[in-house]
């Protein structure tokens, strides 16, 4: 760990960094899953979904950056390469054999839902270890991801 004058005990910082690293892997994976949908969506609602998925990816990348920067703020090294994310992510694999808009909406909604659930668990874990700032970051992430999930799910929630 890098030296820092932050007044959080080293053992707490190490535990927080470990928690943040796990969610960083998920966030990097989530961003790539959203881009997979963005690049490959087809169908009558193509442009709307294509643009929506791009906005969701931007939001996820912003959360990824917040998580990574908290790691480095605490004295850690953010480990956010694609290879690290692939090895560590707890998200389900995104299906590569779909192209239809509703299929992408259904598949994509599972990823932010799982990530949001992990972020909410991380809020509690960070609070229990006494790192309220990390808990606050995860609260922001959870709130933002839930909104993105709503924007995606809205495309499959209406009765036909």
Nearest Cα neighbor of 57 from 23, 33, 73 is 33
Tell me how many domains the chain contains: 1
Assigned domain for 1 exists: no
Assigned domain for 127 exists: yes
15 has a pLDDT exceeding 90: yes
Which tens digit of pLDDT belongs to each residue from 69-119? 999 999 999 999 999 999 999 999 999 999 999 899 999 999 999 999 999
Output the DSSP codes for 73-138: HTT------HHHHHHH--SPPPPSS--BHHHHHHHHHHHHHHHHHHHHHHHHHHHHTT-HHHHHHH
Assigned domain for 84 exists: yes
Assigned domain for 98 exists: yes
Rounded to 5 degrees, φ, ψ at 14 are: -60, -45
Assigned domain for 100 exists: yes
Range of 143's domain? 10-157
Assigned domain for 29 exists: yes
160 has a pLDDT exceeding 60: no
Which tens digit of pLDDT belongs to each residue from 31-49? 999 999 999 999 988 999 9
pTM above 0.75, yes or no: yes
Assigned domain for 2 exists: no
Assigned domain for 120 exists: yes
Residue 89, token pair as written in the block: 């992510």
CATH number of the structural domain spanning residue 79: 1.20.1260.10
The whole-angstrom separation of Cα 81 and Cα 65 is 12
The whole-angstrom separation of Cα 121 and Cα 96 is 29
């Amino acid at each position: 760990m890098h030296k820092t004058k932050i007044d959080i005990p080293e053992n707490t910082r190490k535990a927080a960094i470990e928690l943040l690293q796990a969610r960083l892997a998920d966030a990097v994976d989530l961003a790539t899953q959203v881009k997979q949908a963005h690049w490959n969506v087809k169908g009558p609602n193509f442009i709307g979904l294509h643009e929506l998925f791009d906005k969701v990816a931007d939001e996820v990348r912003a959360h990824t950056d917040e998580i990574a920067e908290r790691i480095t703020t605490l004295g850690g090294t953010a480990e956010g390469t694609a290879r690290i994310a692939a090895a560590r992510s707890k998200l389900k694999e995104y299906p590569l054999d779909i192209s239809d808009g509703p299929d992408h909406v259904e598949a994509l909604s599972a990823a932010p839902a799982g990530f949001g659930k992990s972020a909410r668990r991380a809020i509690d874990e960070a609070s229990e270890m006494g790192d309220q700032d990390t808990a606050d970051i995860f609260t922001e992430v959870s709130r933002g991801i839930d909104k993105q999930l709503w924007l995606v799910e809205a495309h499959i929630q209406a009765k036909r």
